[in-house]
Structures are given as structure tokens and as C-alpha cells.
Structure 1
Amino acid sequence: MNYVCYDGYGYKNGEATCTRDGWDPNPLCAVKMCAAPIIPYAEILGDQRPKYNIDSRIRYKCHRGFEPEQPVEITCNSRTEWTDIQPCTAKPKLCPDPSVENGMIHTLPSNEEEIFYTCNTGYKTFSGNWWDSVTCSRGSWSEKPRCIREEECGAFPSVHHGKLKQTKQIFNDGDATVLECDPGFKPTKRFIKCVSGTWETPVCEVDVHCDIPPKVENALITSKPKEFYGDGSSLTYVCRSSFLMKGKSTVFCRSGTWEEAPTCKEPTCSLNTAVEDFPDIKGPVKPGHKLTFSCRQGLKLKGQREITCQSNGEWSSPFPKCEEVMCVANLTVNMRSFGHTGPEVSVRPGDIITLSCVGSGVTLEGQSKITCFSNGEWNVPFPKCLGEPTCSLNTAVEDFPDIKGPVKPGHKLTFSCRQGLKLKGQREITCQSNGEWSSPFPKCEEVMCVANLTVNMRSFGHSGPEVSVRPGDIITLSCVGSGVTLEGKSKITCLSNGEWNVPFPKCLGGKCGPPPHVNSADTIEMTKQEYNSGERVEYRCFNKYTLVQRHPYSKYLTCELGEWSGNIKCLKPCSVSVEVMDERGIELRWRGREKIFSPHGDRIEFSCKRGKSSIGLIQTCNDGVMDLPLCE
């Protein structure tokens, strides 16, 4: 007879036979069970049985030194198999087995990550104790177990506010090392000795220093706080966003005292109440506020009608001015105004100017006499100079090109010199649309070789920074200054073409001395006696002088290979005394009899004294020079 067992029960085969003793097999179906698991290097947690029912769960734990370290749970499934078994594997050694020469090592079975060691007679541990320990971390020992001789010194003693300089690992009796102290401290003894296996006691005592720097409201310092700041150390302040700093951002500790700290203030715009018809407002003004200006009848606003206070505390445009209404004639290069000089002519309402054109073939289109109206406009359209001007020829130049004049705009002349002479100036010049040449006519001069000596270079038998010699002459060059060497030939010969026979030598290396004196300017920081190559020094002009910052000028000089490089220029202000103005019958338009001291670029408006008249009453300061009008 065939039969089937219920789920969870099993049988040896699917047939049963009826015998005189009953059915065979007997019982026909038996409960399925899992035999107790055998897991190498592990033990079952809790009571262990020889067999387990289906879906039974038990836990086991690997022996010490094997992984995984946490207990593992396994389940007996319907096929009488244990699931989720993880084999126990030996954990890798964290650190290699240590050894020590002239000593012994001991490890506790309960903690293999720390070893203890001691040294043989006549030896001691590197730390100086008679025994010591090291620990294993991240695959390596905290230090190598070492035994040194009793008379030797090993590990440095701790130093409060300092450290000993590590020049080698083991020091013999009598050896010394340098004691280095933190900023604000100094050593009582510069050298600390090893004496019979023991270090002398190192001590760092308080030196001249600065304490915590002064607090600045709405600011912070861009470095971590220190307990002490050594003499000469520095730190930098930064203001809160949108606040403006007044003063130097970097301050230094000098002789135990901090330099004056900067201040951080909320930006405001100052008011120039000297402006005529100033808006009715009291200052200071916060960013975002706008001012609108107007002028009285008979005056004209020069500048922006509306200006805004910006987040940097500056106005969006300079304060405008109310100026007398004037007519301005901007003359072209080939136009002239009778009785006036310069390309711009300014006159008052009612004045008449007479215009004419210059240059062969150039004629005036329009009225030659024009009148200034009360609104600052001319009574007729401004005339023009029409026609093509020509350039005149300077036939006095030697080896002049074979051409007859006059020459029309766009024509080019090319020059050359006879053998033995050298051209000084542009080889090619062009006739321009205004009837003038693009460059002056060149000259033919004797061929010379010119040596431009740097500040640390000398030429034997010559003085000054420039040496000029004739073809065939030889000059001998050398360098001066500590650490400065000559790269190239020291003796060079002038060739017939005005060039040197070899590349001109250079003076390399060395340091720069104090930065040079600059007219009308000074450095913003204290100078040093020596500067390394690459260091630079910042200058600022004296009060009322204007610093030029367009190429090739800047506010810096840089030390390069032992010499200072760079160009600094300060434009002079203009000064006019009351006495000089009285002599010319003029006074300031808005301030009367008052001395002028104005920076470069300022436009000054004058007026004639009662009963006198003149033209060109608005003048500009140009590097200390101002053309004063004459009222008669």
C-alpha cells in the first residue's frame, strides 16, 4: 500500500506492507528533527540537546580569538538543515609580535593589545623607568619597546611652555640638546644636558609678550586665541559683514604692548553742506538714502541730480555743484578760437568767440562768430572744419626720403641712416588726420653701445647707472652686495652695430637693503634692514598728493634678485596764494579770498573782481600746475 505523511513528518519509503506483526515500517510516519549542529571553534549557548524540532532556533558563540565576536542565531528548517551558520575564523593579529633587545616581554591572555616589558641589569626602558608598557592601535605599537644603557638618556622630559629639540633618539652622558620655548617665554638655560642617564630640568620662564589682544566691537580675529603673544607677533581683525574698518586690520605686539586696534563702524555717508542749495537733511546718512539737488535761477547743476548713499559709506557719485551758466566750445585739432588757448573754451552768456580753421585745404563750415545764450547753448549750430589737412616735411633730416610735400593724411615715411650712424626715433612715421606726424622726425646719430647697470652692478672706470662706449671698446663688469653673483661674461665688447658681443650679464641672488626713498611718499609700515627676493613694500603719498596706479605705476616696490623694482609716482597738489590771485584780479567763485591747496585733478572755478573781466575762469590742477586766468 502506498501512503503519504503529513507536513512535518517523514518516512523511510512510500510503501507499507501488512505483516502478521502489523504494518511495516512501524510507525509509518515519524516527526522530522535536526541533529545537534557541530560548529568548529564554537559552543552552543544554553541547554544543548541531541535533536531539535523543525523551526527550532538556537544561538552559538565563537571562541575567544575567533570571529564573529557576537552570538549567531541559526534555525532548523523543514529539510532538517540548519540555516544561517557562519563559520568561526581566527581573527588576524592587530600588531606584529614585538621583541626587545636586552629585556623581556610579557602579555596578559585577557588583553593581547597591551604588552609589558622590563630590561636586563645595566639597562633601563627608553622612558627611564625600570619597566614600561606599549599598546597596539590600528595595526602598530604605540612605540617600539627599547632598552638603553643606564648612563644614557632617552625620552625627553615634558617642558611647560616649550620643548626640547629632537636631534637624535639616544643621548650619551654629557650630550646636550636645545631648549625651545613658546612665544612669550625664554629658556633659563639654552642647552639641556644628559648627566649620568638623567636629563637636567628644562625651564621656560615668562619673557616680554602681549596678553589677549583688545576686543573690537563688531569684529573678530582670524586666528585661534593664545595664552601669550611673543614680541613681534601679529594678528588680523575682520569686521562684521557690511561694517567698515577704520585703521590697520593687522596689528603687531611691540615691546609687550599691542599697536592701536582698528574700529568697526556701521557705514554712513557724510554730508557736504558746503554745496549751494543743499537738501534739508541732517547727517550722517545711512546706506540706501537718496539726495536730490537743484540750483537757483542763473546757475547750472554740474554732476548727478540724484546721488545714493552706498553700503561702503561712499556716495554713488560726487556731490554736484551749482556753477555759473557757461557755453563750452570743444575745438577739433584743426580749429582755433581767437584770443584763447587749448582745446576747450568756456565763456559766459553774451560773450562772442571767433573761430577759424588751420591747415592747407581746410575751410570753416558755419558762422565764424558765435554768441553764448543764457541757457548755455550757442546761438547757431557749432561750425566745423572741413577738408583734408596736410603734413609739412622736415627736409633738414639727414638721408631724408625722396618725396615732395605737402603730404596727405595716411602717407608714411620710412627713414634709414648711412653706415656708421644709428637711427634715433621711429623708423616709420605717418601723417595723421589733424595735419601732424604720428611721431617726431628721427635723427641719425653715431653708433654707441649702452650698458644700463642695475643697482648692484658696477663698470670698472665708469660711474653712474648708464655707460655708453664706441664700437671696439671693452667694459669690465662686476656685482656688489652679499651673496650676489655675476651670471655671464665679466668683459664684453661693443660691436659695430651697437650691440654687445655676448648677452648682457646679470647680477643674481642676494638680498635687498632698506627700500629706496620715493619723492612725496613714504612706506605704510616700519622698514627692515634686509628683504628677501619676492618681498614687497607698500607706499602712500603725502597728504593732498595723488598716487598714480595706472601702468607702469603702482603703490608697491618689490625686491627682485637683490634690487628694488617698480615705479611709484605722486602727483603734486596745486597751491595758489591770496597774493597771487590779487595780482591777477581773481578770487574763488564760491569762497572769495582764500588760499588754494587742491589735489591733482581738482577743477577750480574763479571769478573776476568787481569791474574786471576774463575768460577761461574754470581751471584744472595738473601735477602741481594750474593756469590762472587774468582779469583786466
Structure 2
Amino acid sequence: MYFFFLIFFFIKESCLVPDLHHGHYSTTQRILKLNETVMYECDEGYHTRGGNTIEKAVCRTYGWSLTPNCTSMLLSLCVTLLPIRVGSNKYLGVSSSLNSLGFGTHVPCLASAAWLRVNPSIIKLTCFLLSEIEHGNFYPRKKSYEEGDVVQFLCQKNYSLNGSDLIQCYDFGWYPEPPICEDRRNKCPPPPQPPNANILTDLRTYHNGAKVHLACQLNFTMRGSEEIQCENGKWTSPPSCIEAKEKIPCDQPPPIEKGTAITEDKMYYTGDTIRYSCDHGYRINGSNEITCKMGKWTSPPKCIETRETCPSPPAIKNGASFGPLLTNYTTGSSVKYRCHRYHILEGPETVHCVQGKWTAQPTCLEPCTLNVDDVSNNNIEMKWRLEGELFFLHGETIDFVCKQGYYLSSSSRQSQLTVQCTHGKIIYPTCIMKEKCGSPPIIKNGDVIDPRLTEYESDSSVEYTCFDHHFLQGSNRINHVSFLWSFDDKSYFFHGEYIEFLCKENHYGAPSTSVFDFRIQCSRGQLTYPRCVERGR
């Protein structure tokens, strides 16, 4: 008989954190989701595969990017007991291995435990060959499997996997265990749910012999067994829930050791609930509430002695805790926190377990990354030239200067060019283009005191004087504001004062006007405005 398999590649959605010898993890989680990262630190005298004390591993679709492992600086191998694998895909004999490494051809393993020191980077760990799976197959098939290899299992028609379809080779062997293919006829569909009943047992798959417990809803009584069983792919007959026609009272709630029922002076019927509290030094184990159901109380809780322990230390953003990783910590225990690279620790480095709670944990303040686009768009550049991607720690200051041809606005202070990195954010200063004016306006019977220039910088001003036998009406000084000359930036003028006008950009004086028509005198509160026309019309 021939079987044909269609191979599908499934994306692995989680990774199991392997046991770590001679080191510890930054988290107590045992399963991480796809693309999540785990940090680990090796004990003194051991290092990661990359030769570091601290390393990280990422959960990928094929397993861990690099399986966490802490190895002695010099791995001890007894030459008479352990062959060495060097580079190629075959095992070398002990003597030839030693000869290829320059150790000669004979190094005995003495009774006094003489050991050969070999660098662990030359040793490749392998997993045992996989056995054939009955009613199924696996892929890929190789003569040997090295650490990191992933194998997928599939079953024949009418068979289904019991276990994980993907397993990976780790330094400690295959994980998880290879699955088996089971006949689907040995499984049952989801259990039947009678009207007004609840299923109390929830399983992913139901094999022969699996049992499910059911319970009736309030004001319903059960007729039949509260338990059904999977037999040869079918469920035994389920019970039925019959509505109760009269209220059935419950007795007084049952007492519990080291605790008290909080009751009222009344009768309790189906649906009524009461709560329990424990004596000092004890706590509730389970729900603190029981319910009256058809004349009987549900099972009461127990009061157990309080042990002041803390759970796993809380995780912090951009950092991790280091120390012995336990599921519970006794009062007085402590762990330390460290921040990721370029992050600043704010708060206590060490937190303590006190009366079942951890003291306040620190925070890791984010660094700032200089954004070249923001720098360019704000017309600034760094005062000190630095190379590479620029990071600034929280609290550090950055000095900027305006680009050539730009300056700070008159309302800004020079100190605004020095900014501080705050929680990963930089508020960039803004420089504006230096504005220039042409020559100041010509006035009749007068001129500027200083020699005229073709261009004037922003914030410049000029002073006028009249020719002999003439006197000045209006301000004797005009200022450069927004590309234009302005007479003291006034919005009103007195009778007899003169106002100088200019045409807007892309406009010019009407053909019937002259230069002098743009110098208007205020007369009895009235102004005769000159006329400008758009170019091209």
C-alpha cells in the first residue's frame, strides 16, 4: 500500500523557553509569542554562543533564532569517552580529531580525571534520529539533525495528530516530544449540550474514555447521570434538565475551618448566594461564594494559612529584571533591574518583596534619535559635527545653530538653540530666512541721511532729512519689516502726515500713476489710495 502526503508549511505561533543551565532569564514566562524576545544572562565563568555574558533570543516561525545556552569558557571533554565533531558532517575518531586540532594522536583519560580542554565553538550538537511514525510521516528527512533544525509531522487520511506537528532540535534533544497519529474513529465530536444545561469540562479533543461533567442551570433539576463518556467515537446518553415546580430551601450554609459564612436571618432558595471570609492570617482558597441549588449548597471554599510571598517581579518597558527566577519570592527577597542600551534607569535599581508586594520598580527613560529631516526642515544644523547615527540620552543637551542665510526670529532667544532630550523627544528650534529690502522709497524734496544701498538686512532702518528750505512732516525713520519698508508700523496717521505705499508682489503701478503718487498725504481723515495692477494683464 502506498501513501501520499501533501506537505504544508505552518507558521509557528509560539516558542517554549528551554531550561537554561548556568544562567537565568529576565522573565519567568515559559511560552513566548512569535517575534517576542527573551533576554538571558550567564553565570560567572560561562558565556553565550556569541561569547557574551548577556544575550537575547527571538521566537521565529522555525523556532528560536539562537537557542539560549550558557557554555563554560573552556568545555571539558574526556578524550577516551567523547568523540569530537570538527566542521565537516562526519564524526572523526578521537585520535584523528586530536591530530587535526594539533593535540597529537594520544591523550589518555587518566583515573585522576585528566581532561582535554577544547573550545566549544568547534562542537556541533546533534539530536538522535527520529523513529518512523505509524500511520504518518515527517519532513525533512536527514541523516543527522543539528541544533535548530525543525521537523514537521503529518498523518494519513482518517488519522489525526496527538501532539505538536512541529518539533525542534535543541542542545538537550527534541522538544516537544514527537507526536503520534491516532485513528479519528477513536475520537468523539464535541459533547452534546442538553437544554438548560452547562458543560463543566472543556477539552480540545475527546478520546475514547474521556468523561465530561454537566450541570443544570438554576431552577432546573437533573434527570440522569451528570457524567457522559466517549465510547468508540460516540457519547453515552446525556441527562436532561427538568424545571422545578416549587422552591426548595437550603439549610444553613456549611461551616468552614478558620472562616465564617456571612449570612442573613432568612431562608435561602435556589439562586441565593452567600460569601465566606477567613480569619486573620488565612485566605480563601477558591471562590469565596457558594450558591443554593435545588436544596443543596455548592461546595464551600477552604481557608489556608497566608504565606507572604510575592509573584514574579513586574516587567518594565525597555528593561528587564535579573536575579534568581522563581515563581514565588519570600518576604525580604530582592531582584535587580537593568535598562536596555542607551536607556537611563530612573528609580531604584533593586526592588524588594515586602508583605506579598514588590516595592516600586524603576523606569527606563528612552533616548532621543536625531531626525535629519526635522533638522533640515527647521533650517538648523548641529553646532558640533558628529558622525554616524546620533543618540542622546535622556537629559542630555544638544546645541544647534542656524544654517547660513537663516536666523532666529526677533521673538526668540538665543538659548532656544540649545535643547534637551526628554523621554525620547526633541523639540527642534526653528530658524527663518534672512529677509532683505531694496533701496528705501524716494521722497520729494528729501532723501536718506546715509548713502543708499541696493539691499538692506532685516530689522534695518534708515533716517530721512529734507533739503534746504523744506521741513519734514511725519516720522523721520522707516523700518524694514517682512520685505517692506514701514513707517514705524503705524495703523493711523494724523492730518498732514505722509504715507508711502508699494505694490504687492507681481503687481505694478497703473499706467496713469507716477512714483510720487505712491506717497499720499492724510487730509482731514481721508486717504487717496494709488492703484496697482497685476502683471500680465
Is the structural similarity TM-score above 0.5? no
Q: Which has the higher helix share?
A: 2
TM-score by length of 1: 0.23
| Greater length-normalized contact order (CA 8 Å, ≥ 6 residues apart) | 2
TM-score (norm. length: structure 2): 0.26
Bigger radius of gyration: 1
